[in-house]
Amino acid sequence: MEETNLEVQSTNNKKIYKIIGLIVLLILAGCAFYFFYWVKTPQYSLKLIQESVQNHDVVAFEKHVDTEALCTQAVDGFLAQEMSTNDMNNPLIQGIIQTVKPAIVKSLKDGFINYVRDGNFNMTNPFETNKTNNKIANSEKQNENKIKGYT
């Protein structure tokens, strides 16, 4: 009688160990799925980007988004769509584009970073600093001319 109880108890222990082993195996499989698959999906990256924008975390945003390449491609795409083939082959227009393009890309990139930081998409005009300096210089010249009697 004692032998049958020991046999039943030992089979019950074996079943419990098998169930515990299966549960541990399922947990390990879930962790492996998370670390080896889910973390490398685009959905996971987009989730991190979304959280960085919501938390106004510029460092995390720049870690996951290549804003320089994104802005450059956006400007190139816009120019390709808006310009005709004659304009694309014109060396004068190409020279102007190559001169102005870095300032536009920088302004667009700064707009993205400002949006992540502040939540506002206030883009600055890349040529505005020269305009404000010219306005100040012009107002000073007008004041000097008024002093000297010139209008």
Contact 62, 112 (CB under 8 A): no
- Quick one: which of 107, 37, 46, 33 has its CA closest to 74? 107
Amino acid, res. 139: S
Average pLDDT of adjacent 10-residue blocks, the chain of 151 residues? 64 85 91 80 91 91 92 91 84 90 91 86 62 53 54 49
CA distances from 55 to 45, 70, 71 (A): 15, 21, 22
CA atoms of 107 and 126, how far apart (whole Å): 6
What pLDDT score does 99 carry?
92
What's the pTM value of the predicted model, to 2 decimals? 0.56
CA atoms of 16 and 34, how far apart (whole Å): 27
